[in-house]
Amino acid sequence: MPSINATTLAPPTGVSPHGSSPAASANTPPAGRRWREAPEGGYRQTETTAPNGLANGPAIGRWQTQFHDGTGRARCELCPRRCTLKPGQRGFCFVRSNHDGIIVSDTYGCSSGFAVDPVEKKPFNHFHPGSSVLSFGTAGCNSGCRFCQNFDIAKARSIDKLSVGASPEKIAQVAASRGIDSVAFTYNDPIVFAEYAIDTAQACRALGIHPIAVTAGYMSAEARPDFYAAMDAANIDLKGFTEDFYWKVTGTHLADVLATIDYAVNEARTPEGEHVWVEVTTLLIPGLNDDDAQLHAECTWIGEHLGPDVPLHFSAFHPSYRMMDVPPTPHETLTRARAIALAEGLHYVYAGNVHDREGDTTYCPNPQCHAKLIERDWYRIIADRLSASSGGNGHCPQCGTAIAGRW
């Protein structure tokens, strides 16, 4: 497959190479947008129409409050941090800033790079197995994970990391021209470039390409409906199951993430009315979130709030960023976690990013059957008796049980 690089993807129309926007008035709603008055005396944007020029362009933050207090302050309402910024200030994520009284996504239309991956690498085991994904991200993140695996871009404090310009339409066209099945918003969290992800998702759907998100789920209730309605699938991190772990290790809050996962599974719908497909991933870090009590609590919550058919991936930690002194996750920990999840009644539980054919394989959940349906070794599919691409129909060929997923 030809490589995808800066010559393949052209900069987007109406956005500078680094996504900046010219000044816009802080005291009046931009033309072409509908805002509602905020309690503090500003306006909150509630709907975006087709942009005309940079002042009303796609990089304008779609979830924000402006204030009429003479300071030009604006509050970003994309995530629970709700950063209130003066002109020229950047939020916690570093890539959303106040441009003369309006919050702007500074990375709109620019990427830190592209790669073609198997969908299993995201990871998704129940979403068109064996299919290809065009993966890309931007820079910045609204989480503060001490173990970040992509800290060079997620913790970037310079948008010079964004070397490739690409409009939403161009990304979709490149994926379609190469026969790629899905486009994944990943590497850094797509929450911080939600406007760009949503527009790209819409362009992808127009060409029959699946948009999928890989995210930590730290998103505001106001932004969830627009974001998840744009996605066909999402893999959401559930990084642990105590508030103490979340706050000390990620700088975020467990309750907000649980609310996002609950919404994505139980309420989010595509424009066609179909449920957004969701899988959950937990990175197990020795001594921090791998004890039996947390694992039982997490799996109980999943079963009660999401149901037993939501796939759960346990993945292995490797020392990184500010946690270089923590050892890698032993394989035995993944095996133990998977056994706990299965004992709690979850149907599809995987040991990720290791060679574990039993832990990577999809089994029929019928206890009288338990047939192997998709055999895997890490990201490689060895045998597939389930997917439409392999002649399957989403049902166990041995007992006829319907298997949750998109086949």
Domain with residue 142: its CATH number is 3.20.20.70
Q: Is residue 5 part of a domain?
A: no
The reply to whether 80 and 209 lie within a common domain is: no
In a domain, 27, yes or no: no
Q: Do 140 and 181 share a domain, yes or no? A: yes
- Please check the confidence at residue 149 and state whether its pLDDT lies above 90: no
Which pLDDT band holds residue 147 (cuts at 50, 70, 90)? Answer: confident
Cα distance between residue 328 and residue 284, in whole Å: 9
* Residue bearing the bigger pLDDT, 155 or 120: 120
Q: Is the pLDDT of residue 155 over 60?
A: no
Per-residue CA distances from 377 to 121, 278, 311 (Å)? 12, 22, 17
Number of folded domains that form the chain: 3
What's the CA gap between 229 and 366, in Å, rounded? Answer: 32
- When pLDDT is averaged across residues 359-368 and rounded to a whole number, the result is 96
Residue 151 pLDDT exceeds 90: no
The answer to the question of residue 378 being in a domain is yes
Of the pLDDT bands very low, low, confident and very high (cuts 50, 70, 90), residue 43 is very low
Q: Report the percent of the chain where pLDDT is more than 90.
A: 72
> Is the domain of 294 the same as that of 209?
yes
**Pair (85, 115) in one structural domain:** no
Same domain, 165 and 307: yes
Residues 54 and 177 in one domain: no
In a domain, 349, yes or no: yes
Kindly report, residue by residue over 243-272, the tens digit of the pLDDT: 999 999 999 999 999 999 999 999 999 999
pLDDT(6) > 60:
no
Is 405 within a domain? yes
Q: How confident is the prediction for the chain on average, in pLDDT?
A: 85
The region of weakest confidence among 20-24, 312-316, 347-351 is: 20-24
**pLDDT on residue 34:** 33
Average pLDDT of span 80-102: 95
pLDDT at 93 over 60: yes
CB contact burial 2-26 (16+ within 10 A = b; e otherwise): eebeeebbebbebbbebbebeebeb
Do 339 and 259 fall within a single domain?
yes
118 and 87 in a common domain:
no
pLDDT level of residue 27 (50, 70, 90 thresholds): very low
Give the Cα separation of 114 and 117 in Å (integer).
10
Amino acid 148: pLDDT: 74
Does one domain contain both 152 and 48?
no
Q: What is the pLDDT of residues 321-359, one digit of tens each?
A: 777 889 999 999 999 999 999 999 999 999 988 889 999
Q: What is the pLDDT of residue 321?
A: 76
Q: How confident is the model at residue 20 (pLDDT cuts 50, 70, 90)?
A: very low
Q: What pLDDT is stored for residue 388 in this prediction?
A: 82
In terms of domains, do 171 and 304 share one? yes
- Do 177 and 293 fall into the same domain? yes
Same domain? For 216 and 341 the reply is yes
What is the reported pLDDT for 113? Answer: 82
Tokens of 72: 């030009």
- 115-137 confidence digits (pLDDT tens): 999 999 999 999 999 999 999 99
Q: Name the domain boundary from 105, 120, 137.
A: 105
Phi, psi of 171 (to 5 degrees): -60, -45
As a residue count, the chain comes to: 407
- The residue out of 68, 84, 105 marking a domain boundary is 105
Q: What is the pLDDT of residues 228-243, one digit of tens each?
A: 999 999 999 999 999 9
Q: Are 21 and 104 in contact (CB under 8 A)?
A: yes
For helices 331-343 and 292-301, the axis angle rounded to 10 degrees is 40
Residue 13 covered by a domain? no
Say what the pLDDT of residue 225 is: 97
Q: State which residues form the domain around 401.
A: 368-407
Residue where a domain stops, chosen among 85, 105, 125: 105
Global pTM value: 0.86
- What does the pLDDT average to over 3-10? 49
DSSP string, 14-55: TS-TT-------SSSPPTTEEEEE-TTSSEEEEEE----SGG
Residue 216: inside a domain: yes
Match 């706050």 to its residue by tokens: 247
The answer as to whether 179 is a domain residue is yes
* pLDDT tens-place string over residues 185-225: 998 999 999 999 999 999 999 999 999 999 999 999 999 99
